[in-house]
Chains A and B, each alone.
Chain A
Amino acid sequence: EDQVTQSPEALRLQEGESSSLNCSYTVSGLRGLFWYRQDPGKGPEFLFTLYSAGEEKEKERLKATLTKKESFLHITAPKPEDSATYLCAVHNNAGNMLTFGGGTRLMVKP
């Protein structure tokens, strides 16, 4: 059974204070690892897909990296508008569905 664990559950940062969110996973054949952002009362918004260990992707202040066991979402000099819940999910080779982690609630204070 695929498992995804995200840490920390909640993270408070000051504006400009860089940090990283962790997503540890076990999966029977990784087809893809996905990062989503979710604002309160909204559906998840796609950020990145990573397919193989060593891959990195960047978008504005966010950078996602992938190893064989975990993925990191690095946030550089965050702003208050980066406050949201960040979800990690894996897609295995056998099935159709994504398995989601519990999410990290990020709060960036001005």
Chain B
Amino acid sequence: GAVVSQHPSRVICKSGTSVKIECRSLDFQATTMFWYRQFPKQSLMLMATSNEGSKATYEQGVEKDKFLINHASLTLSTLTVTSAHPEDSSFYICSARRKATNEKLFFGSGTQLSVL
């Protein structure tokens, strides 16, 4: 089956620093990737939709200058949490859909961000 690799799995950083999370589709091309945020015991909240070669589309309430998304190729999207603060601590998950299909999303394994 298709694999989505997300890295790092866990990161601890100081308040005010920036953190980059990578999401790669290993064996398929993904025109669209999605970034989710998940708080403990809650469901996934869509943050933004990332399209290859164009600007990301952010959901209401998500600061685009805070959460920078780059989708540089058909297999790689990155999420950079800029000037992280403790309230940004959360579980971030990426997902990808095969190019030009309506099939299921494949999810990465998630990144647990802890900001001290």
Q: Which residues of A contact B (CB under 8 A)?
A: 31-32, 34, 36, 41-46, 49, 87, 91, 96-98, 100-103, 105
Contacts and interface: CB of A to CB of B under 8 A. Distances in A.
Given A44-B44, A97-B49, 18 more contacts: A32-B102, A32-B104, A34-B105, A36-B107, A41-B110, A43-B6, A43-B109, A45-B107, A46-B105, A46-B106, A91-B102, A96-B32, A97-B34, A97-B46, A98-B46, A102-B43, A103-B42, A105-B41
B93 interface: yes
Contacts of A49: 103-104
Contacts of B102: 31-32, 91
A44 B108 CA distance: 8
* Most chain A CB inside 10 Å of its own CB: which residue of B6, B46, B112: B46
Tell me the interface secondary structure of chain B in the complex. Answer: strand
8 contacts: A32-B102, A41-B91, A42-B109, A42-B110, A43-B110, A44-B107, A45-B107, A87-B44
Nearest to B45: A100
Q: Chain B, interface size: which category?
A: 20 to 34
Contacts of B106: 46
B103 to A, nearest CB: 7
Contacts of B44: 44, 87, 100
Nearest to B97: A96
